[in-house]
Chain A
Amino acid sequence: MTRIVSPRLAGYAGLAGIGLLAGLVLGRVELVALAAPFALAAVAGAFLVREPSVALAFAVDRERALEGETVGATLELTSPSGADRVDVLLPLPRGLRAQSPNPRSLRLAPGETRTLELPLACTRWGAFALGPVLVRVRDRLGFASWETRLGDREPLRVYPKVETLHGFLAPHETQVFIGNQVSRAKGEGIEFSDIREWAPGDRVRAINWRASARRGELHVNEHHPERNTDVVLFLDTFVDVESNERGTFDMTVRAATSLAHRYLQRKDRVGLVSFGGFLSWLVPASGTRQLYRIVDSLLQMNVVLSFATKGVDILPPRSLPPKALVIALTPLLDPRSAAALLDLRARGFDLVVVEVSPVPFVQPGGDELSQLSYRLWRLSREALRARYEQAGVPVVEWRDGVPLNIPLEEVAAFRRYARPVRA
């Protein structure tokens, strides 16, 4: 424990000394009487300084929670010698808010055990380590205090809320495994595709008897098979623009979680690439375990400043499988990520760019030069968007407060109606 003695203890001793000496010099007993309470306070305060012993056990009722839920933290304090005043503070990261007083002061009788319940509201996603608890013990008049950190570190993961996505982006091509996506290819499946003439090897159950009777020769039904798809969520983590605890990175993580949840529900394989100052990836896989893997990876993700030049060629090939749909979530602020996305398109990937717009988080300055630079910045963003569209990449702007369904619908419409332009 770190002991801190109040400077007023020395101050009282000094005042007592001045009073006694002044009384002697001036021959006035009143000054000695004036100094007596200060001398008494200094002596009593110094005598009362005894190092207390306080023990604390800290626990959190669960390790995982959803954004918006409440997690209970329990602090169990005990002191064999007792303590006149114990100040207890659990330092909380941004994203957790105490719903009862924190810090708070209490008194511990000798041998007494006090249990403090501290409900914590999870206001933002994140991977947190709670504790140790800051404890300050003071004597009754506050002449001395002891400060220490008690309790273990308790992990708490708060998962972002998943937005319900009504639609989803279907990739141009499917993979070979069974899933929920109706493939454009023909094969064994449920969805009717076409009728063709019978050929040796066709199964009898595939014969369309009505069509065969009408045409005079055997015809068989063809179907579209149900296949799974590979989806890679490409996150641009070079830059974050934020304002009032909301920002592009926060939106990116929320969108990635919702998309991963939606695609994994459909038995698709989902992978993750974090392309930024710190590069990380998850190879596409399916199932609930992959969802937890992705969300855990997202929680630990952060924007790291870097000046290193990076391209998609440094990514392992397995992280970007062929025929995969790549959904890029980017604020389109860093030229490295903009170039990497164009490179992906040039390599033939089915690419969709969801522009997590930083515009709502940027306030232009009041002077003319600031206004001009703001307009130029907006124009440069328009130019970059046009470059993507020229390359056949759908780009949609997603602003804070707008449901993710809307930009996804825009992309779906773009992919439905866009026609390649040939020179």
Chain B
Amino acid sequence: MLGVGAFGAALLTLVLWRGMDEALPWSLISLGIAYTLSLVLHGGPVDSAAPLLGVGLIACAELAVWSLEERQPVPAERQVVMGRFRALGALAGSGLVASGLVIALSAAPSRGGLAWTALGAAAAVLVVAVATLLVHRAG
């Protein structure tokens, strides 16, 4: 578990040091796997710090991309930098809210069962499908 986490952190360092942007998703996946392993191995109740970890991962990814982009010497106006900084803050904030909402909803008293599992699976597939469709249209 620690090894996978360390591998992810090392990969992220390598991405930033050598400018290997293609390895960035693998470093995020490694960090995610390390967290998943800790959840599975230790078990226990719902980890309320998960939203912070999710926001941390996406902020890490965005800041890494920004850092790689800044290696091209294009001097930007203060307005441009502040605009991106605000957008990043908004993304992190809304991500924290969405993630927190997921954790909060999981704590709501409801009975489990096959119907809820099927509904959850359908919602997950729908979210991924919508995201994929939108990305496909954008591309």
Physical interaction between A and B:
yes
Question: Given that A13-B135, A29-B103, A40-B95 are contacting pairs, would A105 and B127 also be in contact in the complex, using a CB cutoff of 8 Å?
Answer: no
**Distance (whole angstroms) from the CB of A36 to the closest CB of chain B:** 4
B6 at the interface (CB under 8 A from A): no
B80 lies within 8 A of A84 (CB): yes
Whether, in the assembled complex, A18 has its beta carbon less than 8 Å from a beta carbon of chain B, the answer is yes
Q: Which listed residue (B65, B95, B106, B138) contacts A37, Cβ 8 A?
A: B95
Quick one: closest A residue to B64, CB to CB? Answer: A8
In the complex, per-residue mask of B19-46: 1 if CB is within 8 Å of any chain A CB, else 0: 0000011001100100110011000001
Pick from B39, B87, B98: contact of A30, CB under 8 Å: B39
In the complex, A45→B88 CA distance in Å? 12
Inter-subunit contact B120/A24 (CB<8 Å):
yes
CB-defined interface of A142-179 with B at 8 Å, one 1/0 digit per residue? 11100000000000000000000000000000000000
Does B55 sit at the interface, judged by CB under 8 A?
Answer: yes
B131→A29 contact, CB < 8 A? no
Closest to B77 in A: A106
Asked whether A33 lies within 8 Å of B84 as measured between CB atoms, the reply is: no
**Interface set, chain A 4-52, CB cutoff 8 A to B:** 5-6, 8-24, 26, 28-47, 49
Task: State whether B25 touches A141 (Cβ < 8 A).
Answer: no
Specify which chain A residues have a CB less than 8 angstroms from the CB of B2 in the assembled complex: none
| Total residues of chain A contacting the partner, CB 8 A | 55
Give the residues in chain B near A106, CB-CB below 8 Å: 76-77, 79-80
The answer to the question of A310 belonging to the interface, with a C-beta cut-off of 8 Å to chain B, is no
Q: Tell whether, in the assembled complex, residue B50 and residue A87 are in contact, meaning their CB atoms are under 8 Å apart.
A: no
Number of A-B contacts (CB under 8 A): 175
Residue in B closest to A114 when the chains form the complex, CB atoms: B77
Query: By the criterion CB–CB under 8 Å, are A28 and B39 in contact?
Result: yes
Name B51's closest neighbour in chain A (CB-CB): A33
Q: Chain B nearest CB: distance from A108 CB in Å?
A: 10
**CB within 8 Å for A17 and B128 given contacts A33-B51, A85-B80, A103-B74:** yes
A196 interfacial by beta-carbon distance below 8 Å:
no
Chain A neighbourhood of B98, CB < 8 A: 36-37, 39-40
| Complex interface bits, B93-137 against A, C-beta within 8 A gives 1, otherwise 0 | 011101111110010000000000100110010011011101101
Contact check, B32 vs A34: say whether CB atoms are below 8 A apart.
yes
Cβ of A323 under 8 Å from chain B: no
Q: A36-B54, A37-B95 in contact; A46/B131 too (CB < 8 A)? A: yes
Interface residues on B, range: 35 or more
A19 contact set on B, CB distance < 8 A? 32
Inter-chain contacts of B103 with A (CB < 8 A): 29-30, 33
Chain B residues within 8 Å of A46, by CB: 131, 134-135, 137-138
B50 contacts A33, CB within 8 Å? Answer: yes
**B87 contacts across to A, CB distance below 8 A:** 140-141
Given contacts A13-B135, A46-B137, A85-B84, contact A23 B65 (CB under 8 A): no
C-beta contact mask, A132-145 vs B, less than 8 Å → 1, else 0?
00000000111110
Chain A residues with CB under 8 A of B88: 141
Residue numbers in B under 8 Å from A15 (CB-CB): 25, 28-29, 32
Smallest Cβ distance from A46 to chain B, in angstroms?
3
Hey, which chain B residues are within 8 Å of A38, CB to CB?
A: 54, 57-58
Given contacts A23-B124, A43-B134, whether A34 and B84 have CB atoms under 8 Å apart is no
A5 to B57, CA, bound (A): 21
Asked whether A266 is an interface residue with its Cβ less than 8 Å from the other chain, the reply is no
- B residues within 8 A CB of A34? 32, 35, 50, 53-54, 57, 99
Q: Are A29 and B106 in contact (CB under 8 A)?
A: yes
- Of the listed residues B62, B95, B101, the one surrounded by the most CB atoms of chain A closer than 10 A to its CB is B95
Q: Which residues of B lie under 8 Å from residue A16 when comparing CB positions?
A: 127-128, 131
In the complex, the answer to whether A49 meets B138 with C-beta atoms within 8 Å is yes
Is A101 interfacial (CB 8 A cutoff)? yes
Are B102 and A42 closer than 8 Å at their CB atoms? no
Distance to closest chain A CB from B110 (angstroms): 12
A35 to B131, CA, bound (A): 12
Min CB gap B23→A, angstroms: 12
**Chain A min CB distance to B100 (Å):** 8
**A46 and B130 alpha carbons, distance in the complex (Å):** 10
Closest to B92 in A: A37
Complex CA distance for A21 and B125, rounded to whole angstroms: 8
B100: chain A residues within 8 A (beta carbon): 33
Nearest first, the 10 A-B pairs at minimum CB distance are A37-B95, A46-B134, A105-B76, A30-B50, A20-B124, A17-B128, A29-B106, A13-B131, A140-B87, A49-B138
Given contacts A18-B29, A28-B36, A33-B103, list 8 more A-B pairs with CB under 8 A.
A9-B135, A15-B29, A31-B50, A35-B54, A39-B131, A42-B134, A44-B94, A142-B65
Interface residues of B (CB under 8 A from A): 24-25, 28-29, 32, 35-36, 39-40, 46-47, 50-51, 53-55, 57-58, 61-62, 65-66, 69, 74-77, 79-80, 83-84, 87-88, 91-92, 94-96, 98-103, 106, 117, 120-121, 124, 127-128, 130-132, 134-135, 137-139
